Chain A
Amino acid sequence: MKIIKKTFIILIFISYFFIFGRQITPEISFIPVWVENLEFIKTNPEVTEDRVIDFKLNGKFGYLDSEGGILFSENFLQGVAIDKTGFISYSRQNDILVLRNTEGLFVNRVDLSGYPVFIQDRRFILSYDNNGISEIDQEGSVLWKKIFSSSISSVSSTDILVLIGTVDGSIRLIDLEGDVIFLEETKTSRINIVYGGAISLNSGNLITVTGIEPQLLNLWKNNGSGYEVDSSWTLDSELRRHAVTGFSEDGLFAYVEADEELIFIELKTNKLFSIPISGRLQYLSSPGASSLVQILGFDDKGYYYIISELGGDILFNTRLSGNNVFFRKDKNKIIIGIDDNLIGYDMVSM
Chain B
Amino acid sequence: MRNIVFTVIFIFLCFNSYGFQWPVKDVLLVSTFGESKYNEYVKGLDLEGSTSDVRPIDSGELVFYSHQGASPLDLPSGLGTYIIYQHKNGIRSLYGYLEENSINTKIFYVGLTDIIGTVGYTGTAGGSMLHLQVIDTEFKKYINPLLSLPLLTDQSKPLINKVYLTSSDNRMVLGIDGVIKSGVYGLSADIRDLSESAGYYCPLAPYSISVFMNGENLANINFESMRVSDGEMLLEESEGISYSQLYKSDWEIYIGNFELSPGDVMIEISVKDFAGNEGVKMFALKVVGAS
Which residues of chain A have a CB within 8 Å of any CB of chain B?
56, 78-79, 92-93, 95, 113-115, 117, 126-132, 145-155, 167-168, 191, 193, 195, 212, 240-242, 244, 257, 280-284, 298
CB–CB B76/A56 < 8 A: no
How far does the alpha carbon of A298 sit from the alpha carbon of B40 in the complex, in Å?
36
CB–CB B233/A147 < 8 A: yes
Which residues B55-94 have CB closer than 8 A to chain A?
61-67, 70-79, 84, 86, 94
Say yes or no: A155-B62 contact (C-beta < 8 A), given A92-B123, A128-B124.
no
Which DSSP category, helix, strand, loop or mixed, fits chain B's interface? loop
Which DSSP category, helix, strand, loop or mixed, fits chain A's interface? strand
> Separation in Å of the A119 CB from the closest CB of chain B?
10
How far does the alpha carbon of A241 sit from the alpha carbon of B67 in the complex, in Å?
9
User: For B72, what are the chain A residues with a Cβ–Cβ distance below 8 Å?
Assistant: 56, 282-283
User: For A241, what are the chain B residues with a Cβ–Cβ distance below 8 Å?
Assistant: 64-67, 70, 105
Q: Is B231 in contact with chain A by the CB < 8 A criterion?
A: yes
Say yes or no: A150-B78 contact (C-beta < 8 A), given A113-B38, A281-B73.
no
CB–CB A281/B71 < 8 A: yes
How far does the alpha carbon of A240 sit from the alpha carbon of B116 in the complex, in Å?
14
How far does the alpha carbon of A294 sit from the alpha carbon of B181 in the complex, in Å?
74
> Separation in Å of the B135 CB from the closest CB of chain A?
7
User: For B227, what are the chain A residues with a Cβ–Cβ distance below 8 Å?
Assistant: 149
How far does the alpha carbon of A193 sit from the alpha carbon of B62 in the complex, in Å?
12
User: For B79, what are the chain A residues with a Cβ–Cβ distance below 8 Å?
Assistant: 128-130, 151
Q: Is B12 in contact with chain A by the CB < 8 A criterion?
A: no
Chain B residue nearest to A81 (CB atoms) is B76
Query: In the complex, which of the residues A79, A147, A167, A240 contacts B232, with contact meaning CB atoms closer than 8 Å?
Result: A147
Q: Is B10 in contact with chain A by the CB < 8 A criterion?
A: no
User: For B74, what are the chain A residues with a Cβ–Cβ distance below 8 Å?
Assistant: 242, 244
How far does the alpha carbon of A257 sit from the alpha carbon of B71 in the complex, in Å?
12
Most buried by A among B64, B142, B228: B64
Q: What 20 new A-B contacts, CB under 8 Å, besides A129-B133, A147-B228, A167-B84?
A: A56-B72, A78-B76, A92-B123, A95-B38, A113-B38, A114-B38, A117-B75, A127-B38, A128-B38, A128-B77, A128-B78, A130-B75, A130-B77, A132-B233, A149-B140, A151-B79, A151-B84, A155-B75, A193-B63, A284-B73
